[in-house]
Chain A
Amino acid sequence: MTEFLQHIVNMLILGSTYALLGIGLTLIFGIMRVVNFAHGELYAFGAYFVYFVSILLGLNFFLSILVAIVAGCLLGALIEVVLLRPMRGADIDTTMLIMIGAMIVMQNGEQYIWGGVAKSVNTPFPQAPLVIGSVSVSWLSVFVFFASLALIAASYLLINRTKLGKAMRATFQDRDTASLMGVNIQMIYMATFALGSSLAAAAGALLGPVYVISPQMGNIASLKAFAIVILGGLGSIGGATIGGFMLAFAEEIGAGYISSGYRDAMGFLIIIAVLLFKPTGLFARAERIG
């Protein structure tokens, strides 16, 4: 029982960060129809940015995270304007190749600038863990959990309660009609990509200090994010959130009680099952095609 409680706590923390990763990707994919292979690199970018600002420039840890999120937002906007805008209307494979190119450039850029030795970020949190009964968790993880939930809630409100969000949802449902109704599609695309990127950077900024920061950290993040989006369904924030927690649950329980060697396989087994029985994902939103 003790062990089970510890697994559940681990799962909640892991799940919150998976959800954050998934939301950014699902928005971009859902609204823009861009398969963003560079998502993991924006995650790595956020982590390196926190390292740069907090360790090398000596800024406050919490401020550094905010700065990294803003930087991720700006980088996302830049990528959209420079790489994606000229390719508007190109088919999904073409933009996918562009994003794969962006991923390779960014990952090698990280290796070039920072070298292959992993970096770590010291945080103001105490090293001694928070212990409640038999369950133990680091203070940093508690902070990451609540920060992730706050960001997920903020994204949800942005999409569902603001005018910008309404325009995004309209674009998702039917781009041409939205455009005819006076929605500035260019602006919506840029905002979507910037928002998705800033969420990836936020996940990296929060998780970089939990793990270690290396040029390859984006690979596994991308993989998980895609899995979560497939699980949750396209363009659905709620789906990505639940998908994130489900993946974390499968991995944690799979590794804890079945076999740690197949930890990553557990998550993908669920995805295969979902694709077999509900190919649109568990929580796909209705969309009108054409």
Chain B
Amino acid sequence: MTDKKKFLTVFAAAAMLSASFATQGFAQTIKIGVNEPLTGPFAASGTYVVNGAKIAADEINAKGGVLGKKIELVIEDNKSNPTEAAAVAEKLITNDKVPVIMGAWGSSLTLAVMPKLLEYKVPMIVETSSSGKITTSGNPFIFRISPPSSVEAHAFKDILPKLHIKKADFLVINNDWGRGAAEDFGKVLKANGVQVGYVETMDQAAQDMSAQLSKMKSSDADTIMVTTAVEQLTLVLKQAAALGIKKQIVTTGGSQNPDQLIDQAGAAANGTYHLTTFAPWFPDNTPDPKATNYFLGEWKKRGFNFAGATESFRGYDGIRTIVAGIEKAGKAEPAAIAAAMWDVNFTGLNGKIKFEKQGPAGKESGQSIPNVYLIKIENGKIELPKL
């Protein structure tokens, strides 16, 4: 054996040894997979969710972790792309051996991940997606804490009379989320005597919606219901104002980020209504004011933009839900966690987190029913209108 070869052998042995130490080191922690869009069109929202998740992990670890072990977030970027989201889930499960995942922000991303969960029998907490299909397609590894459009639409029913809508047009993002929202809200509106006019869609990446809005300008509807994320919503509001549209605008979906809207759409945001699931502007009106204040304090302490709180709270609650599940399960194994999720019951930042069964019998998904708030932007300020 030459010196060089000897060196290589020793080096390889050392590397293997340190690798095995490393795995031993990690065995002291419980891994939680996080599958979020950190680049691509949803990068801003995904990053907020991950930052919220980190606050939860740090808080839990500071209190001693769960089952005597610290938790460790394994964070992967799904690039706002469904194909990548599925690949990331596979990587987290097979390579990092995580027993549970949180993800994947958008409905199309989550739907792409779901077959992988069935294949490997690993549960996932869905923190943001709102397409109805996610909990009704018979995937027993799905536990969702965000409201599907139908829950949002159901909550909207009680608010409806106060908004005096006679006829509404829809402008929605052209994906599972937007089309699902148009369908669910359309049903509720029709059932309550409101006519539904145009249902127009916009491509996820589209920047110019004036064609759709021009069409709505000349319709006889008094309200436009909009479902999309904050960047596109900013453009919709600005372009509607430029077209001189004076109709009532109501947005749904919970990713509107009202502070960013005020900042970027300016006067065009005035008078608009938004359905949200968390009201950080009024911490004392939230279900658990103490937790809300702690979360917002941490968020501020870390130097994050306040505007992100309406998005990041989902990451915070998602991780807290997972840890509650692991605690109930008594061990960090996928099957045990999935079974224990049904026993989780605590108050999150947006209401009680307790899973109800949804979907075909025998393979139901879990759906928690959070609170829904209607807020209004008035003179550049967020108000909780007394309805």
Instruction: Tell me the complex Cα distance, A136–B41, Å.
Output: 30
Q: A118 an interface residue at 8 Å Cβ cutoff?
A: yes
Q: A6 an interface residue at 8 Å Cβ cutoff?
A: yes
Which residues does chain B contribute within 8 Å of A7, judged by CB atoms? Answer: 211, 214
Which residues does chain B contribute within 8 Å of A94, judged by CB atoms? Answer: none
Which residues does chain A contribute within 8 Å of B266, judged by CB atoms? Answer: 122, 127
Q: A199 an interface residue at 8 Å Cβ cutoff?
A: no
B 21-47 binary contact with A (CB < 8 Å = 1; else 0): 000000000000000001111011011
Q: B364 an interface residue at 8 Å Cβ cutoff?
A: no
Instruction: Tell me the complex Cα distance, A137–B131, Å.
Output: 35
Question: Is the Cβ of A127 less than 8 Å from the Cβ of B214?
Answer: no
Instruction: Spot the interface stretch: B102-110, B152-160, B234-242, B352-360.
Output: B234-242
B 219-251 binary contact with A (CB < 8 Å = 1; else 0): 000000000001100110010011110000000
Question: Is the Cβ of A129 less than 8 Å from the Cβ of B241?
Answer: yes
Question: Is the Cβ of A136 less than 8 Å from the Cβ of B200?
Answer: no
B 199-212 binary contact with A (CB < 8 Å = 1; else 0): 01111011110111
Instruction: Spot the interface stretch: A21-29, A63-71, A212-220.
Output: A212-220
Which residues does chain A contribute within 8 Å of B208, judged by CB atoms? Answer: 10, 14, 211, 251
Q: A120 an interface residue at 8 Å Cβ cutoff?
A: yes
Query: Per a CB cutoff under 8 Å, which of B201, B242, B260 touches A137?
Result: B242
Q: B267 an interface residue at 8 Å Cβ cutoff?
A: yes
Query: Per a CB cutoff under 8 Å, which of A2, A10, A115, A138 touches B211?
Result: A10
Q: B174 an interface residue at 8 Å Cβ cutoff?
A: yes
Which residues does chain A contribute within 8 Å of B214, judged by CB atoms? Answer: 3, 6-7, 10, 256
Q: A80 an interface residue at 8 Å Cβ cutoff?
A: no
B 357-385 binary contact with A (CB < 8 Å = 1; else 0): 00000000000000000000000000000
Interface of A is mostly: helix
Instruction: Tell me the complex Cα distance, A115–B45, Å.
Output: 11
**How many residue pairs between the two chains, A and B, have CB atoms under 8 Å in the bound complex?**
107
Known: A127-B267, A251-B211. A260 touches B231 (CB 8 A): no
Query: Per a CB cutoff under 8 Å, which of A115, A138, A256 touches B215?
Result: A256
Q: B218 an interface residue at 8 Å Cβ cutoff?
A: yes
Question: Is the Cβ of A264 less than 8 Å from the Cβ of B268?
Answer: no
Q: Please count how many residues in chain A sit with their CB below 8 Å of the partner chain's CB atoms.
A: 40
Instruction: Tell me the complex Cα distance, A136–B211, Å.
Output: 13
Instruction: Tell me the complex Cα distance, A137–B212, Å.
Output: 15
Which residues does chain B contribute within 8 Å of A120, judged by CB atoms? Answer: 234, 263-264
Question: Is the Cβ of B47 less than 8 Å from the Cβ of A116?
Answer: yes
Q: A111 an interface residue at 8 Å Cβ cutoff?
A: yes
Q: B97 an interface residue at 8 Å Cβ cutoff?
A: no
Which residues does chain B contribute within 8 Å of A111, judged by CB atoms? Answer: 39, 43
Q: Which residue of B lies closest to A252 (CB)?
A: B211
Question: Is the Cβ of A214 less than 8 Å from the Cβ of B211?
Answer: no
Instruction: Tell me the complex Cα distance, A2–B305, Å.
Output: 43
Q: Can you list the 3 inter-chain pairs with the closest CB atoms, starting with the nearest?
A: A116-B43, A136-B244, A138-B242
A-B contact pairs, 8 of them (CB 8 A): A116-B46, A116-B47, A120-B234, A127-B266, A212-B234, A212-B235, A219-B205, A264-B203
Interface residues of chain A, those whose CB is within 8 Å of chain B, are 2-3, 6-7, 10, 14, 108, 111, 115-118, 120, 122, 127, 129, 131, 136-138, 140-141, 211-212, 214-217, 219-220, 251-256, 260-261, 263-264
Supplied contacts A211-B235, A260-B202, 10 more A-B pairs, CB within 8 Å = A7-B211, A10-B211, A108-B39, A116-B44, A118-B234, A122-B266, A129-B241, A129-B243, A129-B244, A264-B203
